[in-house]
Structure 1
Amino acid sequence: MDLSTVNELELPATFDAHVHLRDGEMSQLVTPTIRRGGANQVYVMPNLIPPITTVQQCLEYRDRLRAIESNIDYLMSLYLHESITPETIREAKKAGITGVKSYPAGVTTNSSLGVVDYEIFYPVFEEMEKQNMILNLHGEVPSTPPHAHSSTTSNTLAITILNAEPAFLPTLQTLHTRFPRLRIILEHCSTSAALAAVKACGPTVAGTITAHHLSLIIDDWAGDPFCFCKPVAKTPEDRDALLRAVVDGSGRYFLGTDSAPHDSRKKRGEDKIAAGVFTQPYATGLVLDALEKGIERKVIKKEDVTIEKLEGFLGDWGRKFYGVEDMGGERIVLRRGKEEIVGVLKKEGVGVEVVPFRRGERTWGVTWK
């Protein structure tokens, strides 16, 4: 398919396998934008403050989301924490909770209570394997503190945000080897090495790819706080590998936007920039835009982009891995250039504002059939 000649496209509704909807006022602002971006099913991250570590907290959170926007299927997750036990996993499975999200301690937003040692959770992973629940991995290791390496450890590789993902990949392999039937997702792959690590594993391992990583490279976020996320965008070669993975037809990779809203003041008005790129209202269109740019740069061929592969990456492959049906069989129509990305997302009576990715530009508009 030559996307440059297509002005209208009909597809099944998108399944977004990785979203941050926050809570309180922020949730009131961003949750209604899910359908605007073409999705009717989402997998919700649990890194609230405090994190979602109990079944009751998780179900109450889902109720709050449903009260904001009822026409969405919210798949829910728990935050991997030392309080999680095999009994918690059994209780979660009975309650319809889908999976458990692992954050290495300190690597990203609200991860201070995350994992330091994966081995202590082996009984939890064993029970998850039995219960057919999904383990979602934020695939990075924490950066090495400044001056942590003395002359006696000079041969030790220092960890920065640029190599934090490759440094994590042996952990993925270890977990898969130890629990081969455990369904694992390496979230928001940002390097060619991560893609290769997923493919080197068996079919119980998959990877998500965000809309923004299909467009960004290191130069973009280095000069724009609204393009800064964790994991950071890497090299042009890594970005191009992600584009090829979208259309490789293997079904091992699917969309998880990692759309992560932060109040605009936390992106440009404080000492430290919050990590997160907000794409939710434009998610499906942004993927199409990135693929078109990939064709222009000759990274992928126009014939690589087919309806079947678009349907797979945007919904079918993720739903199959998660074992869920498309909610209601809804379909969307995308029209080229019909949506202008707002400069600031805001809502009357809500005290937070969010700046979206590619603010002020145009993308594909979404209407529901």
Structure 2
Amino acid sequence: MKPEYTLPAGADFHVHLRDGAMSEAVVPTIRPGGIDTVYVMPNLTPPVTTVAQALAYRDRLRAIDDSINYLMTLFLDESITPEVVREAKAAGIAGIKSYPKGTTTNSAGGVLSFESHAETLRAMEECDLVLNIHGEVPTGTRPDISVMNAESRFLPTLLDLHRQFPRLRIVLEHVTTADAVEAVRACGDTVRGTITAHHLSLVIDQAVGDVFCYCKPVAKSPEDRAALLNALVTSGGKFFLGTDSAPHDISAKKGKGSAAAGVFTQPFACQYILTALEEGIERGDIRDEQVTEEVLSGFLGEWGRDFYRVEQSTKKIVLRKTDEVIPESLKAAGVEVVYYRAGKKTWSLEWL
């Protein structure tokens, strides 16, 4: 890899910006990660299920930093009717997010089966609105499901949805397994996958020993991590960046009870990717010559913008191989959020 890359500004097609004090803390960290466009998740409390809620949420985010392009989404539940889909399309809402019921943060109202949403999905197909899927079978719904196989067991549902709605644009979010990579590749041009920064570097051994590496879906095996890295450098646009950066106050990570699922990567979004690629080369998972400027520009923004039909950025960022060290935590607006890979070196980033 070269010691320096000048690239178009990145676009992150899966972010959690929360609301209230947490938004005040984390929204200003978007630009330091080299990002000027973000695809905002709707799993607030209560979830964002109406166009009015989504637009009001965007206004709150813009009040914190209006230099970012916020692409808004709705939370798929029984209230999302074909009429809501058409209203969302007219208002410029970018997509509708499906969460498996009870699987991750604020997903209690999520989906158990897509059968009851068939008319809504048909309307989305007609309106050309994207369906974003957290692709796991909810744990507890079947005795054979665990966090390690929940994504793999969901893949027949993905393939079935693609068969039923071949024109529906679908994104399988935060892909973590080799078989999920193959499933996305097997689908037609209307299906894509996002890959996070942390799943490109983590494996399950690290995640079970460090609450700040615990996320949903959980990190998997070294072979799965290698498959994700290979997907990044060989897919030609089938996969693109969606960090799933998910901030939680340190008290929710280390307090009493179960640790909250989520890894905070927003302030170093692009930098973490280059570090993961470096480490992948060192392990032999990918080859040095596969990491080109074309691949980096595509994965970090251009491929996702093409799929979502978002204008390409004219802004530029410079990433340099330096000895920059990731701080321990973000402390702002009365919250403290621990950074992923705190204390370790990463690349530096500058806006031109």
TM-score relative to the length of structure 2: 0.98
Equivalent-residue separation in structure 2 for 1:249 and 1:273 (angstroms):
34
Preserved contact between residue 155 and residue 183 of structure 2 (Cα < 8 Å): yes
Deviation at 1:57, TM superposition (A): 0.1
Q: Which residue of 1 is the match for residue 120 of structure 2?
A: 124
Amino acid at match of 2:81: T
Aligned with 1:360 (options 339, 343, 351): 343
Q: Which residue of 1 is the match for residue 320 of structure 2?
A: 335
Preserved contact between residue 173 and residue 193 of structure 2 (Cα < 8 Å): yes
Equivalent-residue separation in structure 1 for 2:276 and 2:164 (angstroms):
37
Preserved contact between residue 225 and residue 268 of structure 1 (Cα < 8 Å): yes
Secondary structure in 2 matching 1:345: strand
Deviation at 1:338, TM superposition (A): 5.1
Task: Show the 5 A alignment for 1:191-210.
Answer: 191-210=177-196
Task: Show the 5 A alignment for 1:149-160.
Answer: 158-160=144-146
Report whether the alignment pairs 1:299 with 2:285: yes
Report whether the alignment pairs 1:58 with 2:44: no
Aligned identity (percent) is 59
Q: Which residue of 1 is the match for residue 249 of structure 2?
A: 263
Report whether the alignment pairs 1:171 with 2:157: yes
Q: Which residue of 1 is the match for residue 266 of structure 2?
A: 280
Q: Which residue of 2 is the match for residue 289 of structure 1?
A: 275
Amino acid at match of 2:120: V
Report whether the alignment pairs 1:100 with 2:96: yes
Equivalent-residue separation in structure 2 for 1:94 and 1:118 (angstroms):
24
Equivalent-residue separation in structure 2 for 1:307 and 1:210 (angstroms):
19
Equivalent-residue separation in structure 2 for 1:268 and 1:337 (angstroms):
31
Higher Rg: 1
Report whether the alignment pairs 1:345 with 2:330: yes
Equivalent-residue separation in structure 1 for 2:83 and 2:183 (angstroms):
31
Deviation at 1:141, TM superposition (A): 1.0
Secondary structure in 2 matching 1:364: strand
Q: Which residue of 2 is the match for residue 155 of structure 1?
A: none
Equivalent-residue separation in structure 1 for 2:326 and 2:49 (angstroms):
35
Report whether the alignment pairs 1:17 with 2:13: yes
Deviation at 1:340, TM superposition (A): 2.3
Count of aligned pairs between the two proteins? 352
Secondary structure in 2 matching 1:261: coil
Equivalent-residue separation in structure 2 for 1:294 and 1:237 (angstroms):
11
> Deviations for 1:174-196, whole angstroms, at most 9, x for unmatched residues?
11100000000000000001000
Equivalent-residue separation in structure 1 for 2:327 and 2:37 (angstroms):
23
Deviation at 1:339, TM superposition (A): 3.2
Amino acid at match of 2:345: R
TM-score relative to the length of structure 1: 0.94
Unmatched segments (≥5 aa) in structure 2: none
Deviation at 1:233, TM superposition (A): 0.2
Task: Show the 5 A alignment for 1:212-251.
Answer: 212-251=198-237
Amino acid at match of 2:43: N
Equivalent-residue separation in structure 2 for 1:97 and 1:144 (angstroms):
32
Aligned with 1:135 (options 97, 117, 131): 131
Preserved contact between residue 319 and residue 325 of structure 1 (Cα < 8 Å): yes
> Deviations for 1:134-159, whole angstroms, at most 9, x for unmatched residues?
000000011137xx75xxxxxxxx10
Report whether the alignment pairs 1:76 with 2:83: no
Equivalent-residue separation in structure 2 for 1:281 and 1:253 (angstroms):
21
Amino acid at match of 2:158: L
Amino acid at match of 2:312: D
Aligned with 1:36 (options 13, 26, 32): 32
Preserved contact between residue 249 and residue 309 of structure 1 (Cα < 8 Å): no
> Deviations for 1:52-91, whole angstroms, at most 9, x for unmatched residues?
0000000000000000011000011000011110000110
Equivalent-residue separation in structure 2 for 1:193 and 1:100 (angstroms):
24
> Deviations for 1:249-302, whole angstroms, at most 9, x for unmatched residues?
421000100000000111111210100000000010100001011111111111
Secondary structure in 1 matching 2:49: coil
For structure 1, which segment, 128-137 or 318-327, has the greater mean C-alpha deviation from structure 2 after superposition? Answer: 318-327
Aligned with 2:174 (options 182, 188, 202): 188
